[in-house]
A = this chain, B = another copy of it.
Amino acid sequence: MNWEIFLAPYTQAVDELKIKLKGMRKQFDYESRHSPIEFVTGRVKPITSILEKAKRRDIAIANVEDEVQDIAGLRVVCPFVEDIYDVVDMLRLRKDFSIVEEKDYIEKNKDSGYRSFHVIIRYPVETIYGEKQLLAEIQIRTLAMNFWAINEHSLNYKYSGQIPSEVTERLRSASEAAFRLDEEMSKIRQEIRDAQEVFRRKKD
């Protein structure tokens, strides 16, 4: 299997989707509105990680394309928890891709402490040989969720997925601290809205 040629359309899809999702943020800026998007990143899954995932889940190489859904991965980071659902709503309206699946790990978070909203999409990308439909995963998170997830990922990597129980414990405490930070921030968000409402009422 020539991985470079296999991955080329995924690289192209990630580049295009980054520009498209960043464009949503820019539009809020142009109109001086609060943007529910703080920043956007993207990456193509490294070959070794694709192979590991295929092995772990018993996926034949020929089926990688259909069964590994996050070869093309996008991440949208939001200031507040509430913004995540606004972003999901906007994704549902777009016509340049179709949503295949939604996974809400915020409402019902994983045991590890992981919180995030995942949207799996089918995206048409043009190659020099014609159109190709491929799967991509968009993860939507707050800054605190993202911070925690980056650190868990690097620990998982170091311990090859076998994190010792006392470290798992500490990670869970950190996840709670991240959750608390999101809660405190959401309260301020409310303050801002309340204050603005009072301000507007006075003006009328």
Residue numbers of A with Cβ under 8 A of B are: 4-5, 8, 11-12, 15-16, 19-20, 23-24, 26-28, 30-31, 38, 79, 90, 93-96, 124, 126-128, 130-131, 143-144, 147, 150-151, 155, 158-159, 164, 166-167, 170-171, 173-174, 177-178, 180-181, 183-185, 187-188, 191-192, 195-196
Query: What 10 pairs between A and B have smallest CB-CB spacing?
Result: A174-B184, A177-B181, A12-B23, A143-B147, A177-B184, A177-B180, A167-B191, A27-B128, A94-B126, A15-B19
Q: In the complex this chain forms, how many copies of it are found?
A: 4
Can you sample 6 A-B contacts with CB below 8 Å?
Answer: A5-B31, A147-B185, A155-B188, A159-B195, A171-B188, A174-B188
Contacts of A187 in B (CB 8 A): 170, 173-174
Q: How far is the CA of A180 from the CA of B180 in the complex (A)?
A: 9
Q: Give the residues in chain B near A26, CB-CB below 8 Å.
A: 8, 11-12
Q: Would A27 and B127 be within 8 Å (CB), given that A181-B147, A185-B151 are in contact?
A: yes
Contact B155 A192 (CB under 8 A): yes
A164 to chain B, nearest CB (A): 7
The answer to whether A170 and B191 touch across the interface, beta carbons within 8 angstroms, is yes
Residues of B within 8 A of A94 (CB): 126, 131
Report the minimal beta-carbon distance from A161 to chain B, rounded to whole angstroms: 14
Residues of B within 8 Å of A79, CB to CB, are: 150-151
Q: Is the CB of B4 within 8 A of A30?
A: yes
Cβ contacts under 8 Å, A124 to chain B: 95-96
Distance between A17 CB and nearest chain B CB, rounded to angstroms: 10
Residue of B nearest to A191 (CB): B167
